[in-house]
Chain A
Amino acid sequence: MRPCDLRGTSVLLSVSVLFVQRAKRVCDDFRALDLRPSKSNNMRGNRRKTAYKKTPVHPPRSNKMPVDQDWPSVWPVARVFHPASVPLPLHQGWVEPGITPPGKFANAELMKIPNFLHLTPPAIQRQCEALKKFCTEWPKELDTDEKIDHHFPLQITTSDYLHSSPTIRDARARIVTLQVKLSTLNLNSHAKDKLLRLVKERYDPVTDILTLVAERCPLRKQNIDYAMYLLNVLVSESWKTEPWENEKSEADMEKYVWEGSQSQRTLQQLLERMPNKAPDLPEVIKQYSVNVTRFHNEGEDTENVNAYKESVIKLLGLNA
C-alpha cells in the first residue's frame, strides 16, 4: 500500500476511536466494560489530541452524606483536612471587605490548621464510655482538700503530650515532679535544718513544700522510683548526726541565738559598769534578748526596730 492511503485510513480510525471515547464519558457513574480496549494510535498525527487527559473528577462525597450520619465513623482519626469529605461550607482567608473569602477546596490555610474533626463531643463521649471500665470511682470519704492532703501527702506530677500527628512519643513525658509538705515528715529541729541545707532552693518556705524533679532516667517509671528513693535518702540522712556537725560555728548558724552571742557579752560588760540599773533587770534583759533575736531571725522592719529601741531605752534607764 502506498503511504498516503494508510494515512487516510489511520485518520478514519482515530476519529472513530475519539467518538467511542466521548460516548464513554457521557455516563459518569459506571465505567463501561471494555474487553478489548483499542490501542490508541501513537503516530505523530494523533499524539497531540491524546496528550492531555483530564482525569474524571467525581462530585464530592459530602453531597451524598446523610444529615444524621455517624460522624466518628466518617472521620475516626486525626487527618489533614479533606474538603470533599467534610460537608461544611467553610471559608478561610483574609480578604478586603466586600470580597468573598476563598472556599474550602484547595485552601492551604484550612489544611494547615490541626483540626479536631476526630474529637467532636460525641466522639469524646464514646471514648470516655469505652475507657470507663478501666477506671475506678473516686472514694466518697475524700471530699475535702484537707482530707486528701492528710491521707495522701505525697504528690507526683507527670505530663503527657499530645501531637496532632500519629506519634505518641515525647521526650518530656519522662519528667517526674515529687512534692511533699515538710510538716508531714515529722522532723525534729536538727533533722529539718539538715534537710534544708541538703535541699537548698528546692524548698519553698512560703508554702512549706519540698519539690524534687527527677528526669535523669529515660523512663517515667524509673524516674518515679528514683524520686522516692531520693526522698527516703534525704530523710534518713537528716536524722543522722555526723561527728563533724559539732564543728558548727557562729557563721554557719541558720538562726540567731542569744546565748553565747556577742550581744550578750557586750551587755554583760555594760551592766558591770552601769551605776544605776533598771529595777526589774532580768525582765528587761529578757525583753531585750527577745527583741534582738526577733529582728535577726524574722528580718528587719520598722516595727522590730522600734521594739528594740524600747527595750534598749528601758535597759539604759532613759525613761524619765
Chain B
Amino acid sequence: MAVLRELVVFPSKCLRGVRSYFLSAPLFQNGFLKLNESVSKDGHALDLEQSDTKKISKAMKSYMERAKIHDNFIKQQLHEYNIGKRHLANMMGKDPEFFTQADVDEAIRYLFPSGLFDPRARPMMKHPDEIYPKRKAAEFDVNGRPYHSLFYTSKPNYYTLMHDLAVKFKQLDRHEDKIISRGIQDQKPTELFLFGSEWIPKQKVENVLLETLTDAQYENLIKTFERFSQHPYSALEKDFIMQFRRQLAAQVEIQQVPELMRDESGRPYMTYNTRRKTSNAAVKVIGQGTGVISINGNDIHFFQREQDKKQIIFPLQFSDMLGKVDVVATVDGCGTSAQSGAIRLGISMCLRSFVNAETIERMRLAGLLSFDPRTRERKKPGQAGAREKFTWKKR
C-alpha cells in the first residue's frame, strides 16, 4: 500500500522533470521507426550489479532504481488492466475471452453514465499504453555511455529522422540515375499518393518521436518531407511517408454521395436533414422542376430579409440548378438566420446527387457543403456575457 501510493505519484513527477531518463534500443533499422519504446527492450540489463572495472555512482544507482520501479509499475498496471477486463466481463455477464476494448468502453458507459460534454473528461478504462505516456527506454548503459550516437544532440530520434530522409533522398537519386542510364523510357515516375491526406501535426510527431520539438524544428521536418515527397520516385518510399500523413475526413464523406430516389410520378428527389445553431431543417429537392419553393408551406417570402433569401438561392445559383429543381423544406427553431443557413446546407447536400463531381468539388470549396458548428457561447460567471467583461474600474 505504501509502495503503491508512491508508484502512483511517480510518473507525474517524472514527466515534469527531465524527459529522457531512459534510452531506446537502436531506433531506425531498415528505415522504419520503432514506435514502442516505453519499456526497455531486451539486451539492456538494468542490473544493479557492478561492472568489472568501475563502481556505479549513487546517481546512476538511483536512476536504475527508478527505471526498474517504473517498469514494474507499468507491468502492474497492465496486470490490473487485464484482470480488470475479466472482472468487467464477469460483472456484465459476458465471456471474458472475447471481451474487446469496444465492449469495455460500452460497459463503462453503462455503469458510469457521465453527462460531461467532452469525451476526454468521462470515465475510461483503457490499456496502460493509452493512459500512461510512452517514454524512452534506457538511453545509456550502466557505465553511463549512451547507446545512440546522436544522444548528445538531446533529440536523437528527431535528428536520426532528418538524417534518414537525407540518406533516402540520395538513394532515390541513385535509383533515378540508374533508370535513366538504362534508358528505360516507359518507366514513368509514379503519381502523387498524397491526395486526401495532410501532414500530422506537431503534437503527433512528438508522440511518435517521444521528444518535444520547437516550432522551427517541426516546420523544418515538414519542409524536408515535402521536398522528399516531390521527388519523382518518392512512391518507392510511400509507406515511410504515409507514416507521417493522416487522412482528411472530408474526402471520405464526398465519396459517399447518395443515389437519387424516385417518387410515385417518377420524378427524382433527394432529402437531407440539417441543423444550424438550434434550428432543424428537413429539405427535399425534387428534380424535373420549375423552381417552385415551399418553406413550411409558404413561398420564399417566409423569409422577409434579403440576406435570408440570398442564402437560399446561393446553392441553386452556384450549381446552375435555379429553375430546374423544386425545393420543399420544413424548418423550426432558433431565428431566421439560423433557419436559412440550415436550409442552405440542406439544399447543397441534396444537390450533390443531381450534379457532377466537378461541381461538387466547387461547392465544397465554396463552403456550401460544410456544416457550421458555431453555437452560442455560454455566459461565464464574473463576466457580463460570453466575452464581455464588467466595467473595468481602475480603483
Contacts and interface: CB of A to CB of B under 8 A. Distances in A.
Contacts of B12: 99-100
Interface stretch (B113-121, B148-156, B240-248, B257-265): B113-121
Contacts of A59: 1, 4
A130 B121 CA distance: 38
B113 A120 contact: no
Given A90-B123, A91-B131, A105 B8 contact: yes
Given A90-B108, A100-B133, A120 B114 contact: no
Interface residues of A, number: 37
B93 A120 contact: yes
A51 to B, nearest CB: 20
A101 interface: yes
A69 interface: yes
Contact of B91 (A89, A103, A120): A120
B131 A71 contact: no
A117 B111 contact: yes
Contact of A93 (B2, B81, B90, B121): B121
Interface in B238-288: none
Contacts of B93: 120-122, 125
Contact of B84 (A71, A88, A98, A105): A88
Contact of B112 (A62, A65, A93, A110): A110
Contact of B90 (A57, A68, A99): A68
A63 to B, nearest CB: 9
B35 interface: no
Contacts of B81: 89
A114 B11 contact: no
B318 interface: no
- Per DSSP, are chain B's interface residues mostly helix, strand or loop, or mixed? helix
A86 to B, nearest CB: 9
A115 interface: yes
B96 interface: yes
A93 B80 CA distance: 20
Interface string A95-108: 10111110101000
Contacts of A101: 124, 131
B107 to A, nearest CB: 9
B86 interface: yes
B110 interface: yes
Given A99-B15, A101-B124, A101-B131, 14 more contacts: A59-B4, A62-B87, A67-B96, A87-B83, A89-B80, A89-B81, A92-B114, A97-B203, A98-B207, A100-B11, A109-B121, A116-B112, A120-B111, A125-B93
Interface of B: 1-2, 4, 8, 11-12, 15, 77, 80-81, 83-84, 86-88, 90-93, 96, 108, 110-114, 118, 120-126, 131-133, 203, 207
